[in-house]
Chain A
Amino acid sequence: MMDQFQETFREEAYENLALLESALLELEDEPENLELVGAIFRALHTIKGSGAMFGFERIAAFTHDIETAFDLVRGGRMRVSAELIDLTLKARDRIRSLLEEEPTGTLDPETRQLVEGFRRLLPGDDQRGGPVAEAPPEHCTEPVAYRIRFAPHPGLFLSGTNPVLLLKELEELGKLTVTANTDQVGLLDEIDPELCATSWDMVLVTDRGMEAIEDVFLFVDDQSEVRIQPIETEPDGAAKRLGDILVERGDVDQNQLEALLGERKMVGEILMESGLVSRQKVESALAEQQQVKEIARDHSQRESQGSLRVPSERLDHLVNLVGEQVTVQARLAQLALSLKIPALSAISEEVARLTGELRESSLKIRMLRIGSTFSNFKRLVRDLSRELGKEIELVTSGEETELDKTVLEKLNDPLVHLIRNSMDHGIEAPERREAQGKPRCGRLLLAAAHSGDSVHITITDDGAGLDTAAILAKAQEKGLVGQNAQLSEKEIYSLIFHPGFSTAKAVTNISGRGVGMDVVKRHIEDLRGTIDIRSERGQGTTITVRIPLTLAIIESLLVRVAREHYLFPLGAVHECMFLTSETVANAHGRQVVSLRDKIVPYIRLRDRFAPAERRPSLEQLVITEIDGEKVGFVVDHVVGHHQSVIKSLGPAYRKVEGVSGATILGDGTVALILDPSKLYQAEQLQEKAA
Chain B
Amino acid sequence: MLTCTFAPTDPERGDGEATLHLKGRATIETCTEFRDALRAALTGCRNLTIDVSEVEAIDLSCIQLFCSAHKTALNQGKNVTIANPQGEEFTASIRNVGLTCTLPGTCQGDPDHFCLWGNPEAICRREP
Interface residue ranges, A against B (CB under 8 Å):
157, 162-164, 167-168, 178-183, 185-189, 191, 193-194, 196-198, 200, 202, 268, 272-273, 275, 278-280, 282-283, 286
Min CB–CB distance B107 → chain A (angstroms): 4
Complex Cα–Cα for A186 and B67 (A): 9
Interface residue ranges, B against A (CB under 8 Å):
28, 31-32, 34-35, 38-39, 42, 59-65, 67-69, 71-72, 75, 93, 96-99, 101-109, 111, 115
Min CB–CB distance B111 → chain A (angstroms): 6
A interface majority secondary structure:
mixed
Identify the interface centre among A168, A279, A280: most chain B CB within 10 Å of its CB.
Answer: A279
Please, which residue of chain A has its CB at the minimum distance from the CB of B118? A279
Are the C-beta atoms of A191 and B60 separated by less than 8 Å? Answer: no
Complex Cα–Cα for A182 and B35 (A): 16
Are the C-beta atoms of A185 and B61 separated by less than 8 Å? Answer: no
> Cβ of A193: which chain B residues have Cβ within 8 Å of it?
28, 31-32, 34-35, 61-62, 64-65
> Cβ of A185: which chain B residues have Cβ within 8 Å of it?
64, 67-68, 71, 107
B interface majority secondary structure:
helix
Q: Between A and B, how many residue pairs show CB distances below 8 Å?
A: 104
Complex Cα–Cα for A183 and B65 (A): 12
Are the C-beta atoms of B98 and A167 separated by less than 8 Å? Answer: yes
Min CB–CB distance A228 → chain B (angstroms): 17
Are the C-beta atoms of A181 and B60 separated by less than 8 Å? Answer: no
Are the C-beta atoms of B64 and A168 separated by less than 8 Å? Answer: no
Are the C-beta atoms of A180 and B62 separated by less than 8 Å? Answer: no
Are the C-beta atoms of B71 and A196 separated by less than 8 Å? Answer: no
Please, which residue of chain A has its CB at the minimum distance from the CB of B75? A187
Could you list some 15 contacts between A and B, CB below 8 A?
A157-B28, A162-B60, A178-B96, A182-B99, A185-B67, A188-B69, A193-B31, A193-B32, A194-B32, A278-B108, A279-B109, A280-B101, A283-B101, A283-B103, A286-B103
Are the C-beta atoms of B105 and A279 separated by less than 8 Å? Answer: yes
Are the C-beta atoms of B60 and A188 separated by less than 8 Å? Answer: no
> Cβ of A268: which chain B residues have Cβ within 8 Å of it?
103
Task: Choose among B64, B101, B111 the residue that contacts A198 (Cβ–Cβ < 8 A).
Answer: B64
Are the C-beta atoms of B64 and A197 separated by less than 8 Å? Answer: yes
> Cβ of B59: which chain A residues have Cβ within 8 Å of it?
162, 164
Given contacts A188-B69, A279-B105, A282-B103, A198 and B35 within 8 Å (CB-CB): no
Are the C-beta atoms of B105 and A272 separated by less than 8 Å? Answer: yes
> Cβ of B35: which chain A residues have Cβ within 8 Å of it?
188, 191, 193
> Cβ of A180: which chain B residues have Cβ within 8 Å of it?
97-99
Complex Cα–Cα for A272 and B63 (A): 24
Given contacts A187-B71, A191-B35, A194-B61, A181 and B109 within 8 Å (CB-CB): no
Are the C-beta atoms of B39 and A188 separated by less than 8 Å? Answer: yes
Please, which residue of chain A has its CB at the minimum distance from the CB of B93? A164
Complex Cα–Cα for A88 and B27 (A): 60
Given contacts A272-B105, A279-B109, A194 and B31 within 8 Å (CB-CB): yes
Identify the interface centre among A164, A180, A286: most chain B CB within 10 Å of its CB.
Answer: A180
Min CB–CB distance A76 → chain B (angstroms): 35
> Cβ of B68: which chain A residues have Cβ within 8 Å of it?
185-188, 191
Are the C-beta atoms of A191 and B97 separated by less than 8 Å? Answer: no
Min CB–CB distance B35 → chain A (angstroms): 5
Are the C-beta atoms of A164 and B67 separated by less than 8 Å? Answer: no
Are the C-beta atoms of B97 and A164 separated by less than 8 Å? Answer: yes
Are the C-beta atoms of B105 and A196 separated by less than 8 Å? Answer: no
Given contacts A185-B68, A193-B62, A278-B109, A198 and B97 within 8 Å (CB-CB): yes
Please, which residue of chain B has its CB at the minimum distance from the CB of A171? B96
> Cβ of A278: which chain B residues have Cβ within 8 Å of it?
105, 107-109
Are the C-beta atoms of A189 and B72 separated by less than 8 Å? Answer: yes
Please, which residue of chain A has its CB at the minimum distance from the CB of B63? A198
> Cβ of A280: which chain B residues have Cβ within 8 Å of it?
101, 107, 115
Min CB–CB distance A192 → chain B (angstroms): 9
Task: Choose among A162, A168, A181 the residue that contacts B107 (Cβ–Cβ < 8 A).
Answer: A181
Are the C-beta atoms of A163 and B60 separated by less than 8 Å? Answer: yes
Please, which residue of chain B has its CB at the minimum distance from the CB of A202? B98
Task: Choose among B28, B65, B104 the residue that contacts A191 (Cβ–Cβ < 8 A).
Answer: B65
Task: Choose among B60, B93, B99 the residue that contacts A196 (Cβ–Cβ < 8 A).
Answer: B60
Min CB–CB distance B11 → chain A (angstroms): 24
Are the C-beta atoms of B111 and A187 separated by less than 8 Å? Answer: no
> Cβ of B75: which chain A residues have Cβ within 8 Å of it?
187
> Cβ of B105: which chain A residues have Cβ within 8 Å of it?
272, 278-279
Identify the interface centre among A182, A183, A185, A273: most chain B CB within 10 Å of its CB.
Answer: A182
> Cβ of B96: which chain A residues have Cβ within 8 Å of it?
164, 167-168, 178
Are the C-beta atoms of B108 and A191 separated by less than 8 Å? Answer: no
Please, which residue of chain B has its CB at the minimum distance from the CB of A165? B96
Please, which residue of chain A has its CB at the minimum distance from the CB of B36? A188
Please, which residue of chain B has its CB at the minimum distance from the CB of A184? B107
Task: Choose among A194, A275, A279 the residue that contacts B115 (Cβ–Cβ < 8 A).
Answer: A279
Complex Cα–Cα for A181 and B117 (A): 12
> Cβ of B109: which chain A residues have Cβ within 8 Å of it?
272, 275, 278-279
